[in-house]
Structure 1
Amino acid sequence: MDHYRGGDSALNEQVLWHLRGPYDHQAMTRAVAALSARHEPLRTTYPRGRRLRQLIHEPQPVPVPLTDVSGEAEPAAAARRIVAAEVSTSIDASVWPLRTRVLRLGAEHHLVVLTLHHYCSDDYSNALLARDLRALYGGEIGEPVDLPAPQWQYAQWARWQAEQLSGANRERLTGYWTGKLAGARLVELPARGRRPVPDGEPPWISVEHYVDAQTTAALRQLARRHRTTLFPVTLAVFYALLHAETAAGDLTVASLFANRGQPQVRDTVGFFASMVLLRERFTPDTTLAELIGQTRTTVMDAMRHQDLPHQLLPPDTVTGGTGRTDDVLFQLLGSLMTRADMAGEELDDMEAQLERRRFALEFVVVPQGDVLSALLLCSRAEFDPAWADAFVRDYVTLIRRAVADADVPIAELRAAPVT
């Protein structure tokens, strides 16, 4: 991704933290330095060369500039512009992987911004950083600190992974994925095609619709009946929608897994997330309940074999079309790690993540308290905004129909009544 898309913001991660009440900037500066000392990837650079390698630096002070936007006519809008600029400005990881900034929106309202190169963080790690920074700042202002020490730093895990990806284990993992994906083809959406982007229009389309609390509760019950979580259920509905769009009964979509099977990395910051390809085959007569059961098995099998990086699969494992295997991606945000900050204003950090330009079509389901948010981020040069809006609306409708009757065949789900 760095090679093909490194010129945009695809390789930026961002963590935002709103502070309400009294604020001590010197304490925050010390907390950020302690955070960098605690997690080696925040002070690891990647020198340019034929092979990617980590150069870990000793702990050192970290600059934390403070920008006051409280005098602006609309401080929140001014802060949003700065945050957007931060996440869209690339980071040269050969120089330093982390930028920090604090914005003052009011006398007792501050926003801490951590912008990181993707080499050193992922969604799970972002949640760890948010947790740790809060605790370390609390310690600097006199509150008790109770943080578990990371058992492994990222470099230790990288060495362990290299050992795992050799010999018989590498053959076992490669054998599973090549067998699972034999004959798989890229998803070819009829709505996809090259189209000019009007002047002044953003290059990416972002659409969001909500699943109401009653339907979300029913969806969770449906997952429990199938002895699974929301991820396979929401993914099964996504397969059903792709089938309605393409008429294909053999669908392969990409997703991101936490890839933290080793307990030693529970509190380790780094880029662990592994892309996996989830293939499902079914007929128009397959019911949604049956598809949920199949998807549950597919996801569990993929979790057991997620150690093999997607990039190590043989070339052309998935064929067809002119796109890439990661062009259509589905994920349940928060499935990597429960976010302690997934409420209210703190959702700003999720919004910032979705501004990254990563995949041609990225579909994300986000638990937000009692409701679910369904978000689509796709390329304006390849998809029509009206189609994108209808696609997300149809997904929400299919969820409502699924909880009304999961025994409806996939071919009839789009037309099934909603009770």
Structure 2
Amino acid sequence: MTDINLLPPDQQRALLAQLLRQKAAAPSFALSPGQQDLWLWHKIAAQTRRIEFNVLFAWTIRSTWEAALLQQAFQTLVDRHATFRTTYGEANNQPFQRVHRQQKVHFVVTDAQSWPADQLQQAVGDLAHQPFDLEQGPLLRVQLFTRGTTDPVLLLALHHLAIDMWSLSILLDELGIVYTTLKHGIAPSLPPLARQFTDFVGWQTDLLHSPAGQRLEEYWREQMTGAIPVALPTDRPRPQQPAFGGACHGFVLEEALTQGLKDLARRLRTTLYAVLLAAFEVLLYRYSRQEDLSVITMTVGRKGADWSGVIGYFTNAVPLRVNLRGNPPFTTLLEQVHQRLMAALEHQLYPALSELAHLRPKAQTGQPQLTDIFFVFQKSHRFGMERVSSDREAASPIGVPAAGDTGAQVTLGELVLESFPLAWRADHRYILELMMVEAGGSISGVFQYATELFDPQTVERMAQHLTVLLRGVLDQPDTPIAHLPLMTAAEQPKPPRKLPAQLRNRLEKALHDKENP
């Protein structure tokens, strides 16, 4: 090792500066299995430019507001949660995350007072879908569009590597608390965090290498051995290499149907989630006539130690496999779905999708995959979301316009926010994805689909068929699944018209004469 005292003064200063930089370098950590999956998709997205992982929150501020206090509140949250001070990289083909000690919040105020509505919507949409630089950061961007005496628009954009939907609710809850206390001149005081997301990564790694982790692996292997992909009919053959082009179709279930389904779930001692998932699986069964179905869904991934207040990407995708042999009543299928959901939650800490890769290592491109179809139901009550009847600029709670849908409002302390219409730029990792959100008494849904496989009219009919099916489930939940209604009134076969008496007599006479020459 070189003696620093033997170096010239300029080299001593350079070496000292290098040593100080190394000492101050941010510590690096491995990625969780869920983050590793997102990282691989991020690399694919960089090549295709068709997939993004932006978590977006665009809302009009309907209460009084102060830009400086909003910026201070977001800075407080960046200081509090390490995931907002994290960047990502790769060394020797292994991804890592680096947590920085300090990070100035990305908070930009734009004067949009003179902009027409369409220009504002375009600007908000462009900034919302702007790609993130994972190596340089930041992975949280806040943009405030002021409009003079008109209510401003607040845009939050985050990369999915840093946050899941449970974490978004934590962020919003704490934003309301911090902003409100600052507004009253009080220093914000949140309960201290004993853990950060990187602590979870280490904890999960230890778990997966323990006997408990082996039991989790054995459960998922037993569940998925012999599983086959859903052979869903498509409008076009599946290409050898996916283009990842996507589109979406939004729809809404009216309040009466939503309330009826919630009452049905309570009466049968299950959840609305299970009812909607079971109905979706019946829809897939009716389309494919396949009795062994597997659908991917999401779990919160926070079972075990108390991670409830920690922000990060905990979400874990798991396969749910059901058996529909024998044309069971819907209530029987629902019981099976409920049991599978409860078991999946019990075993949710294992990266089950990696087990699918081991079970079907020779799955060919251009052929159906076990991970083709996805379902998720979001619990909007975590956001305190309510419907609003507004003709201003409110958007659907799920972000996709749908006939009959309305906007949503959320109250965060003394911040009152109303959903702002944000252009949905669809892509796809699954060939078909159904996302549903219950807010303010009705359910908003969106089908996201691969445009290389499905036409828009096909997916629109899917949404209509699902709605008809859910009404049938509500009316007669004990009906065998093959007999539940599916077709809309317009698709129902029309009864034959009654022939006029004179024409009927002539036809009967002609037939009689033919049979009796």
TM-score normalized by the length of structure 1: 0.90
**CA distance 1:414–1:375, shift in 2 (3 Å):** same
Query: Which is further off, 265-274 or 206-215?
Result: 206-215
Q: 1:166 to 1:316 in 2, by over 3 A?
A: closer
Structure 1 residue 203 displacement after superposition: 4.3
Measured at CA, do residues 417 and 363 of structure 1 come closer, stay the same or move farther in structure 2, by a change above 3 Å? closer
Q: Identify the residue that residue 377 of structure 2 maps to in structure 1.
A: 332
Instruction: Check whether the contact 1:23–1:108 (CA below 8 A) recurs between aligned residues.
Output: no
SS where residue 107 of structure 2 aligns?
coil
Matching residue of 2:156: 114
Establish whether residue 2 from structure 1 lines up as the match of residue 2 from structure 2: no
- Structure 1 distance, partners of 2:76, 2:428, is 31
Count of equivalent residues = 410
Counterpart CA distance in 2 for 1:17 and 1:358 is 25
C-alpha contact (below 8 Å) 2:231/2:290 kept by paired residues: no
Change (3 A) 1:215 1:376: same
Task: Give how far 1:94 is off.
Answer: 1.0
Structure 1 unmatched runs, 5+: 197-201
Other-structure match for 2:467: 396
Question: Which is further off, 244-253 or 3-12?
Answer: 3-12
Q: 2: distance between equivalents of 1:346 and 1:35?
A: 27
* Residues 1:141 and 2:183 are matched in the alignment: yes
Aligned to 1:94: 135
Aligned to 1:255: 297
- Asked whether the 8 Å contact 1:206–1:377 carries over to 2, the reply is yes
In the TM superposition, residue 3 of structure 1 has moved relative to its aligned partner by 2.9
Partner of 1:199: none
How far 1:306 sits from its partner (Å)?
A: 0.8
**Stretch moving more, 135-144 or 247-256:** 135-144
- Partner residue of 2:442? 371
Identity %: 24
Could you tell me whether the CA contact under 8 Å between 1:189 and 1:246 is conserved in 2?
A: yes
Q: What CA distance in whole angstroms lies between the structure 2 residues aligned with 1:353 and 1:129?
A: 23
C-alpha change, 1:314 and 1:281, in structure 2 (3 Å) is closer
Change (3 A) 1:174 1:264: same
Q: Deviations over 1:98-122 (max 9, x none)?
A: 2221112442512222211111101
Q: Per-residue CA shift, 1:234-262, capped at 9, x if unaligned?
A: 00000110011000111101111111113
Supply the distance in 2 between the matched residues of 1:57 and 1:114 (Cα, whole angstroms): 21
Cα RMSD, aligned residues only: 2.6
The 2-side partners of 1:323 and 1:342 are apart by 39
With 140-149 and 79-88 compared, the bigger mean Cα shift is at 140-149
State how far apart, in whole Å, the 1-side matches of 2:436 and 2:70 are. 33
Deviation of residue 178 (structure 1)?
Answer: 1.0
What letter corresponds to residue 326 of structure 1 in structure 2?
A: T
Is 2:125–2:423's contact at 8 Å kept on the other side of the alignment?
A: no
Which amino acid letter does the alignment assign opposite residue 382 of structure 2? T
Cα distance in 2 for partners of 1:192, 1:93 equals 37
- On the 8 A contact 1:250/1:280 being kept in 2, the answer is yes
The answer (yes or no) to whether the contact 1:79–1:105 under 8 Å persists in 2 is: no
Query: How far apart are the structure 1 equivalents of 2:377 and 2:312?
Result: 20
Determine helix, strand or coil for the equivalent of 1:46: strand
The alpha carbon displacement at 1:65 in A equals: 1.2
After superposition, residues 15-414 of structure 1 pair within 5 angstroms as 15-49=57-91, 50-74=93-117, 77-96=118-137, 97-142=139-184, 147-194=190-237, 203-262=245-304, 264-313=306-355, 315-317=357-359, 322-334=367-379, 338-341=382-385, 343-344=387-388, 345=394, 350-351=399-400, 355=425, 357-359=427-429, 360-414=431-485
Equivalent position SS for 1:160: helix
Which one-letter code corresponds to 1:5 in the other structure? A
**Change beyond 3 A, Cα 1:234–1:376:** same
- Measured against aligned partners, the alpha-carbon deviations of 1:324-367 in whole angstroms (never above 9, x if no partner) come to 433210111227x7222454448567455964524321111211
Deviates more, 1:151-160 or 1:240-249: 151-160
Helix, strand or coil for the counterpart of 1:54? strand
- Residues 385 and 122 (structure 1), Cα distance of their counterparts in 2 relative to 1, 3 Å cut: same
Using the alignment, how far apart are the partners of 2:53 and 2:150 within structure 1? 32
Give the letter for the 2:288 counterpart.
Answer: T
Q: Which deviates further from its counterpart, 151-160 or 233-242?
A: 151-160
Tell me how far apart the structure 2 counterparts of residues 303 and 217 of structure 1 sit (CA, whole Å): 25
C-alpha contact 2:245 2:426 (8 A) present in aligned 1: no
CA, structure 1 residues 192+42, in 2 after alignment: closer, same or farther (shift >3 Å)?
farther
**Distance in 1 between the 2:373 and 2:281 partners?**
11
The answer (yes or no) to whether the contact 1:401–1:416 under 8 Å persists in 2 is no
Q: Secondary structure at the residue paired with 2:383?
A: coil
Instruction: State the 1:400 CA deviation.
Output: 0.4
Q: Distance in 1 between matches of 2:245 and 2:230?
A: 22
TM-score normalized with structure 2 length? 0.74
Structure 1 window deviating more from structure 2 (162-171 vs 251-260): it is 162-171
| Pair member with larger Rg | 2
Distance 1:252 1:23, change over 3 A: same
**Do 1:13 and 1:117's aligned partners in 2 also have CA atoms closer than 8 Å?**
yes
Deviation, 1:153, is 0.9
Q: Per-residue displacement from partner, 1:134-190 (whole Å, max 9, x unpaired)?
A: 222222221765644434210111111111110322221111111101111111211
- How big is the shift at 1:299? 0.5
Q: Give the AA of the match of 1:330.
A: F
Deviant stretches of 4+, over 6 Å: none
